Amino acid sequence: MSRAEAFWNAAKERILVKDGAYGTMIQRLGLDEDGYRGELDLDRAQRGNNDLLNLTRPDAVCGICQAFVDAGADVLATNTFNANAISQADYGAEAYVADINRAAARLTREVAGPDRFVVGAVGPTNKTLSLSPDVENPAYREVTFDEVVACYEQQVEALAEGGIDFVLVETIFDTLNAKAAIVATKNIERRIGRDLPLMISMTLTDLSGRNLSGHTVEAFSTAIAHARPLTIGLNCSFGAAALRAHLKTIAASAPTLVMAYPNAGLPNDLGEYDEAATDTAAQVSEWLDEGLVNIVGGCCGTTPEHIAAIAAACEGATPRAPASPDPAMNLAGLEPMRLAS
């Protein structure tokens, strides 16, 4: 049985629980510059480069991962949200990208053991393909599509070498960036001769239900349907209560599993998250009562306490049944278009 089949079978039996936020937990460590840098010879300051800790503080990364396992997580994401050459260029650490991803996958695999699933976290990068950063030149782009594909190829290949089960393309604010990640993953599949099922997760930038590139959740789902993802869903964005209506839209039509992992509410004026674990779990319980999800977890601000509370809420809950495939032709612009036969 493949790992994807095992995952699907498990998700049919019960709600699976994803882990929470590495960034939140790393901030709690209070590391200084040397704590991030370790013995590496890098010209720029590294404080805040959470991904580098896979090399310089593997004990800390394993400790965080183990805390989420102890809280009840079935699905563990690697600490690699910004472990790509575009994002690491801010730290002058591009040369370490492959090493960071391989190490992260191996660390997570070690903690996960054979009974949990390891997903390679692939973030959106800090560049956008759909929008110009120059208001005076709408046609300008800081990167090309091919450059972003190549960037993702390097990351995905290293994650695969480290032993991940699936590729998680998450916090998608630009649908075109997600398409580049999909192309990259398919290219690596062909290169290494191994399936790398995709988990795809959109983030909303306003309460109307659109991402930064302007796509509604329906249009986004249509735009990435060709990738046949193992899961589709939402993460980050706002708190669970604000995501409920948009998650309901995805759940009604997705012919695959739905995964969602919200922030612990919205940050306060200091950028910190105050929402208690019990409050997050209570909001997620409303998703469970409506049968909207197969996998739930936490994003920014969520701790092992949040994941434990969510896991407790999931006990005995009925997993969502995937929708039947839509036989009509579906097209996507910023909004979807359905052409019935």
| 151 annotated among ligand-binding-site residues | no
> In this predicted structure, what is the pLDDT of residue 228?
97
What letter would DSSP give residue 265? S
Tens digit of each residue's pLDDT (9 = 90 or more) over 289-324: 999 999 999 999 999 999 999 999 999 999 999 988
> In this predicted structure, what is the pLDDT of residue 153?
98
How far is Cα 293 from Cα 321, in angstroms, rounded to an integer? 9
Q: How far does Cα 185 stand from its chain's mean position? A: 15
Tens digit of each residue's pLDDT (9 = 90 or more) over 2-14: 999 999 999 999 9
Contacts of residue 244, defined as CB under 8 A and 6 or more positions apart, other chains included, come to 283, 286, 287, 290, 292
> In this predicted structure, what is the pLDDT of residue 341?
64
> In this predicted structure, what is the pLDDT of residue 272?
85
* Phi, psi torsion values for 121, nearest 5 degrees: -75, 120
Tens digit of each residue's pLDDT (9 = 90 or more) over 167-212: 999 999 999 999 999 999 999 999 999 999 999 999 999 888 999 9
Q: Delineate the domains of the chain, giving CATH numbers in brackets.
A: 3-339 (3.20.20.330)
> In this predicted structure, what is the pLDDT of residue 337?
79
Q: What average pLDDT does the chain have?
A: 95
Better-scored residue on pLDDT, 311 or 336: 311
In the chain, % of residues over pLDDT 70: 100
With a cut of 70, say whether residue 262 has pLDDT above it.
yes
| 299 annotated among ligand-binding-site residues | yes
| 62 annotated among ligand-binding-site residues | no
3-state secondary structure of 291: coil
DSSP structure string for 25-59:
HHHHH---HHHHHTT---SS--TT-GGGHHHH-HH
> In this predicted structure, what is the pLDDT of residue 299?
97
* Residue 339 pLDDT grade (very low, low, confident, very high; cuts 50, 70, 90): confident
Tens digit of each residue's pLDDT (9 = 90 or more) over 131-146: 999 989 999 999 999 9
Q: What Rg, from alpha-carbon coordinates, does the chain have?
A: 19
How far, CA to CA in Å, does 180 sit from each of 84, 149, 157, 257?
Answer: 13, 5, 14, 22
Q: What is the pTM of this model?
A: 0.96
Tens digit of each residue's pLDDT (9 = 90 or more) over 93-134: 999 999 999 999 999 999 999 999 999 999 999 999 999 999
How far is Cα 53 from Cα 79, in angstroms, rounded to an integer? 9
